[in-house]
Amino acid sequence: MVDQASAGIARVGLDGRVVSANARFAEILGLTREQAIGITTTDVTHADDIGPTYDALQAAREGGEGLVEKRYIRPNGTAVWAQTSLRPLLSPTGDLIGHIAVVVDITAAKAAEAALRESEMRFRLMADTAPSPVWMTNTEAQVEFVNTALAEFYGQPPNEILGDVWRISVHPEDQDRVRAAMEAARPTQRPYGFEARFPRYDGAWRWMRIAVNPRFDANGEFLGYVGMSFDVTETHEAIQALDAQSRRQNFLLGLTDKLRDLSTSEAIMETVEAALGAVLGADRVGYGEVDQDRGLVSMSRDWTAGIVSAEGRFPLKDLGADLIADLAEGRTIRIADVREDPRTRDALDVFERLETRALMRAPLIRNGQLRAFLYAHHSTVRDWTAEEIGLLQEVADRTWAEIERTRAEAEVRESEERFRAIADTAPVLIWVTQQDRTRAFVNQAYVAFAGDDYETARLKDWREIIHVDDHERIISESLAGEATGEPFSMEARYLRHDGQYRWLKSFSRPRLTGDEVVGFVGVAFDVTDIRETQARLLESETRFRTIADSAPAQVWMTDEAGTTIFANRRYKTFFGVASDGDLDANWQTWVAANHLEDFYAGFLDAVERHDRFEGLLEVNHPQLGHRWLRCEGVPRFDGAGQFQGYVGANIDVTEAKKAENDLKRINELLEDRVGEALAEKAKAEADLMHAQRMEAVGRLTGGVAHDFNNLLTVVIGALDMMLKSPADAARQKKLGEAALAAARRGEGLTHQLLAFSRRQALRPEAVDLNAQIRQSEPLLKRAVGEAVEFKLKLRRGGARVHVDPAQFEAALLNLVVNARDAVGDKGRITVQTLECEVDVGDVRELPVGKYVCVTVSDNGAGMDPEIIGRVFEPFFTTKAVGKGTGLGLSQVYGFARQSGGGVSIASTQGRGTEIRLYLPPLDQPEDAAIEPAQAGARTGIEGRRLLLVEDDVGVAAIALELLEGMGMEVRLADTAPGALDLLRTERFDVMLSDIVMPGGMTGIELARACARDYPEMRIVLTSGYAGEDVDAALSDAPWPFLRKPYSGQQLADVLGEPSATESI
C-alpha cells in the first residue's frame, strides 16, 4: 500500500539519512529507490530551503507536525517543489528512533501561484486546465470561483458549489480543525493550509490537502484567497497502515515483555485476554481447549467487559460443531452475526445465554490436531476487520507456545517436587548423580545416614566411607557398571555417622538425554539385618538338621503344595532315598507300591485346609518286612502368618500294632484268666501308647499291677474259700459279695485304662470335671507315687463342660506326670478347678469371655522363658534321652484347642510351674454323670426270643445262663455268618452280638445287615474292647452298647423295652 501511494514516503534515521523509501519518493528526487537509500537532506535540498527544513524537523521532534515547502534538486539540476510532512517514529518504549517523511510534489502548484500573480485571467485559464481543484474566495471566505477539477470532484455544476457550500461539506470530525486554521491566518491575511475530508461525488470521503494564499490587487488591496487542494487519501491510508502496523508491533512486543516473567499458564491467559480485549474493544476474550475424542470444549477463565463469563465445559455441538470442523482444518472463523451464519444457527440458545452476537476464533493446531482456539466475542453485531482477525491469529500463535511452555515447566516442577517428596519419605538412600559423578540430589534418608546437613551430605565423597575390605572391589565395580551405560548393582559395608558399618545393597540406573548418559539415579537398601538373619537362619537350619538327624523318628517337611522338601537321616534310610532331589519321587513310588492313595489324599486334604494331620500307613519294607508307621504333621507358618507347608514325623508303631491285635484277643478272655490278661494288656497298652503317652503309662504300670494283685487276691481267696465250704450259705454270700466288689473295682480300673489308651468310643459329652477328676484320683495318685503330696481343690457347684472325657483324662494325666517329673521324689502337686475371666491378650488365641479352668501346679524346679516358649511343640523335651517323647504337652495343647479352649503356663525357676487349661463352660448346666440305671429289669423280657452271637465259649455259657434265667428263649451262634444262617430260618425279637469275632465279619457289620434285612428285630452290641476303627463306627451307631464285663442286672436293663429315641 505504501509503494502504491501517490505521495513519496521515506523513513529517516536519527542521523538524517534515509533508511527506506517508496518508489514515488525516489521518483520525486529523480533517483532510483536504491540511490535514495542513505542520502541526507542537505544532499538533495536547495540551499535556501535547508534552514526551514531543519526548523520543521525540530518541530516534529518536539511532538508536533513538521511541515515545510521546499525545493529538491534533481541530479540533472532541475528543481522540484514539494510539500514535506515530518512525523516522529518512536520505539515500543517511547524512544525516538527516526522520522517518517511524506513528500508531495507541489511544483505545479507553485507554478500556478506564479501565474496567478501575473494575471488572474491567466490564472483562471490555468485553473481550469489544472488537474487539481482550484478556487477563489472573497474577503468573507465565500467561494467566488471554482475550476473544472473542483466541479468534477463534487459532481455538480460550478455555480452550485459557490458561496458557503464547501463549509458544510467538511467532515464533521474535521470542522473544528479547519475553523482553527482559518481563524489563525485570515485575520492577518497570511497563507494557511490544512488537511480535511470532503465527500466526493460518489459519496466516498477523500482526504484533501488544502493550500490557501491571499490575493491582492495592483494596489495591494486584499481581495480574498485563492486555494488549491490535492487528494492525499492514499497518503493518509499509507500513514494509517504504517501506524496500525506500528501499533500492532508495539502491542505484540509489549505483550511479549509482559508474558516473559509469568510462570503459570493461567496468568498468561489472563494477561493475554485482558490486553487483547482492550485493543480489540471486544466484550469477551478467552481460550477454548478441544478434546475431540470426548467431544468436549473446555472454556478457560475468560476476560469480560460487562457480560457473563463463558467459563466451563461444553459439548462440541453447543458451540457450533461446524465451526470446530473449520477450525480443525486450520481456518480462522469470523462471524458478524451468529443469527445469520448457518454454522451457528443450531447453537443460538447457547450464544444467547452467553450474550454473544459476533465472534472470532483463531485455531491452534499441534501435530495435525486441533488442540485449542483463541476467541473474541462481542455482544452486538460487528464486522470484524481483516486486521483484527490477523491480530487474533498472531496473538494465538505466539501466546499458545508460552502457555505450553509454562505447562511443561509446571509439569517438570511438579514431577520434581513429587520425586523429592517420594524420595524424602522413602526409608532407603536415594541419590542422583551428574556426568562428573557428583551428587545433584540426595534424599533425607541419605542425609540421616551421613549425619550431616544436606549440602555437606550431598558433596561428601561416598568412596571415603567404604569399608577397607570392600573399597577396591566396589570402586572397580562402580567404574565398570557406569562404563556399560546399563543398570548395575553392588553390595558393600559403609560407615554410618554413628560409627557402625552397615551393609548396603545399591542399584544404579542411567539417566539419558537422547542416547547420552548424563548421570545415574541410585537407590541403596540397608541389608545388614537381612544378612544377619540369613546367617542366623543358616545356623538355625544347620542346628535343625543336626537335631532332626539325631531324632529317633522319621522327621520330614513339605512345601505349601504338600511336596516333600526335607527328610532326616532316619527317614532317608528307611525309605531308601538316594538324594534330596529324589524325595518327592521316592514318596510317590512308595504310595503306588503300597496302595497309599487314600492316605495321601487325606494328607493333601489337610494341606488344603491347613489343618493338623494324623494317620497310619502300612508298608512292605524290602528288608524289614511288614511295618506300620504313625504319621503326624502340623502346619508351619512364617512370621507374617503365611502358610509354608508341614513339618511332621513318622514313628514305627509296628510292635504297638501287633500288641493292639493281641489286646483284642486278650479282652475276650474270661474272668478266670484276668490276671494273665491284665499283665498282657498292660504290656500291649504300653506298646500302643509309644508315640504319645509311653512314659505316662510306664509310670502307671507299677501302681496298676499292685492294685490288680490286691483285687485278684480278694477274688481268688474268696472263690477258694467258697469251694471249700459249699454248705455254709451265709459265709458263701459274704465271700461272694467280697469277690464281686473286688471284680467291680477291677472293672473300673480297666475302663480308666481303656479310656486313657483311646480304646473306647470317644465322644464329646456333657461332663462335670469335678466328678471326672474324683473318678481319676486313684489312678493319678498311683502315677505320682506315695512320696509326693497330691491334693485336689475342686470348685463348689461343679465344673461343667462339653469335652471328650477320655481325652480330658489323658490330658490331665500328662500334666500330672510332668509335674511328678518336675518335683522329683518329694514335693507337692495340686489339681484345682475354678471359673476364670479372660480379657484381651490374656491367653494366646483365646477369645474374651468366661471359662472353666483346670490348674495343675507343682513346687518343682520350674522353667526358664526359652523353654516355656517351646514346651507345646511336638517332640520338644528337656528330659534325658529315652525318658520322654516330647508329645505329652503337645497332646494337652491339641485337646484344649480342639475343645474350643486354650492353655497358659506360668513358671519361675526354683519355685515351680502352673499349667492352666481353659475350657468353654456349658451354656445350660447339665448333669455330667449318667443317671444310675433304675433298679429292676425292664418289662417285656420274659418269653421273648433272643439270638446270642458270641465266639467265646465261656462268655457265651455265662450269658446263656443269665438270659434263660430271665425267662428268654435263646439261640446261640459263634460267628456272624452263622447268625445270618439262623435268621434266614427263624424269627427273633432281639439280637445280642459281640463286636470282635472271627469269620471275616464284625458285630457292627452284622448289625447293619440285620437292620437292613430284619428291621423289626431289636439289636444290642457288646464288647470288652473296641479298636479305633470300631470306635469310629460306634460314634454314629444307633444301637445300644453294653460294655464287658456286665452283670445280670445290666443285661436285663439293656434288653428291656427300647427308649423313644432308640433305633431298632
Domain boundary assignment for the chain: 8-105, 130-233, 262-412, 426-526, 543-652, 672-759, 761-931, 945-1055
Long-range contacts, 840-843 (Cβ 8 Å, 24+): 842/904, 843/902, 843/903, 843/904, 843/918
Per-residue pLDDT, averaged over 602-621, amounts to 89
Residue type, 1006: L
Give burial (CB, 10 Å; 0-12/13-18/19+) of 122. middle
Of all residues in the chain, the percent with pLDDT exceeding 70 is: 83
Write the Ramachandran bin of 637: left for phi over 0, alpha for psi from -120 to 50, otherwise beta: beta
What residues contact 424, with CB distance under 8 A and at least 6 apart? 443, 444, 445
Residue 427 has pLDDT above 60, yes or no: yes
DSSP 159: G
At 569, the pLDDT band (50, 70, 90 cuts) reads: confident
Rg value, the chain, Cα: 62
The predicted structure's pLDDT at residue 1060 = 46
Give the whole-angstrom CA distance, residue 631 versus residue 592: 18
Helix (H) / strand (E) element for 60: namely helix 50-61
The predicted structure's pLDDT at residue 120 = 61
Residue 164 has pLDDT above 70, yes or no: yes
CB 197, CB 71: distance < 8 Å: no
The predicted structure's pLDDT at residue 492 = 94
The predicted structure's pLDDT at residue 207 = 92
At 690, the pLDDT band (50, 70, 90 cuts) reads: very low
Residue 611 has pLDDT above 70, yes or no: yes
The predicted structure's pLDDT at residue 1009 = 94
* Neighbour-count burial for 690-719, b at 16+ CB within 10 Å, e otherwise: bbbbbbbbebbeebbeebbeebbebbeebe
The predicted structure's pLDDT at residue 929 = 40
Residues 1018-1044 pLDDT 10s: 999 998 754 555 666 676 778 998 888
CATH number of 761-931: 3.30.565.10
Residues 883-934 pLDDT 10s: 455 566 777 888 888 888 999 999 988 889 999 999 999 875 544 343 433 4
The predicted structure's pLDDT at residue 435 = 84
Residue type, 587: W
The predicted structure's pLDDT at residue 303 = 93
Superfamily in which the 945-1055 domain is placed by CATH: Response regulator (3.40.50.2300)
3-state DSSP assignment of residue 234 = helix
Which tops the pLDDT comparison, 577 or 682? 577
Q: How many helices (H) and strands (E) does the chain have?
A: 34, 39
3-state DSSP assignment of residue 319 = helix
Per-residue pLDDT, averaged over 862-883, amounts to 71
DSSP 941: -
CATH number of 543-652: 3.30.450.20
**Closest to 37 (Cα-Cα) out of 15, 10, 60:** 10
Give the whole-angstrom CA distance, residue 891 versus residue 809: 11
Helix axes 583-593, 597-609, angle to 10 degrees: 130
Of all residues in the chain, the percent with pLDDT exceeding 90 is: 29
**Closest to 902 (Cα-Cα) out of 851, 829, 839:** 851
* Neighbour-count burial for 204-230, b at 16+ CB within 10 Å, e otherwise: eebbbbbbbbbbeeeeeeebbbbbbbb
Residues 82-136 pLDDT 10s: 999 888 888 888 888 888 889 998 888 787 666 656 656 666 666 667 788 988 8
Which tops the pLDDT comparison, 1039 or 293? 1039
Which tops the pLDDT comparison, 986 or 124? 986
Q: Give the 3-state secondary structure of 69-136.
A: EEEEECCCCCEEEEEEEEEEEECCCCCEEEEEEEEEECHHHHHHHHHHHHCHHHHHHHHHHCCCCEEE
Give the whole-angstrom CA distance, residue 538 versus residue 145: 127
DSSP 1058: P
What residues contact 16, with CB distance under 8 A and at least 6 apart? 40, 41
Longest dimension (CA), the chain: 206
What residues contact 400, with CB distance under 8 A and at least 6 apart? 364, 371, 372, 374
User: Rounded mean pLDDT of the chain?
Assistant: 82
Please give the grid coordinates belonging to residue 815: 500334666
Give burial (CB, 10 Å; 0-12/13-18/19+) of 163. middle
CB 914, CB 853: distance < 8 Å: no
The CA-atom distances, in angstroms, between 836 and each of 900, 921, 995 are 15, 10, 43
Please give the grid coordinates belonging to residue 1014: 430284619
CATH number of 426-526: 3.30.450.20
Of the listed ranges 234-243, 608-617, 668-677, 802-811, the least confidently predicted one is 668-677
The correct CATH number of 130-233 out of 3.40.50.300, 1.10.340.30, 3.40.50.720, 3.30.450.20 is 3.30.450.20
At 705, the pLDDT band (50, 70, 90 cuts) reads: very low
Give the whole-angstrom CA distance, residue 981 versus residue 406: 105
The predicted structure's pLDDT at residue 467 = 94
**Which fold, 8-105?**
Beta-Lactamase (3.30.450)
The predicted structure's pLDDT at residue 986 = 94
3-state DSSP assignment of residue 775 = helix
**Closest to 918 (Cα-Cα) out of 858, 843, 817, 812:** 843
Residues 314-331 pLDDT 10s: 998 888 888 888 888 889
Of the listed ranges 104-118, 510-524, 585-599, the least confidently predicted one is 104-118
| Owner of C-alpha cell 423280657 | 941
**Which fold, 262-412?**
Beta-Lactamase (3.30.450)
Q: Give the 3-state secondary structure of 299-348.
A: ECCCEECCCCCCCEEEEHHHHCHHHHHHHHCCCCEEECCCCCCCCCHHHH
Using alpha carbons only, give the angle 681, 682, 684 rounded to the nearest 5 degrees.
60
Torsions phi, psi for 1016 (to 5 deg): -80, -10
At 937, the pLDDT band (50, 70, 90 cuts) reads: very low
3-state DSSP assignment of residue 206 = strand
The β-bridge partners of 993 are 949, 1021
Residue 702 has pLDDT above 80, yes or no: no
Per-residue pLDDT, averaged over 364-374, amounts to 87
Alpha-carbon torsion 45, 51, 56, 59, what sign?
positive
Domain 130-233 identical in fold to domain 945-1055: no
The predicted structure's pLDDT at residue 376 = 94
The predicted structure's pLDDT at residue 879 = 66
Residue 688 has pLDDT above 70, yes or no: no
Per-residue pLDDT, averaged over 566-590, amounts to 87
Residue type, 432: V
Q: Which stretches does DSSP call E strand in 514-660?
A: 516-526, 554-558, 564-567, 613-621, 625-637, 643-652
The predicted structure's pLDDT at residue 679 = 54
Give the whole-angstrom CA distance, residue 1031 versus residue 160: 143
Per-residue pLDDT, averaged over 777-801, amounts to 85
Residue 847 has pLDDT above 60, yes or no: yes
Give the whole-angstrom CA distance, residue 61 versus residue 1017: 140
Give the whole-angstrom CA distance, residue 672 versus residue 684: 20
The β-bridge partners of 360 are 334, 376
Residues 944-980 pLDDT 10s: 999 999 988 878 888 898 899 889 999 999 999 999 9
| Owner of C-alpha cell 481268688 | 716
The predicted structure's pLDDT at residue 885 = 52
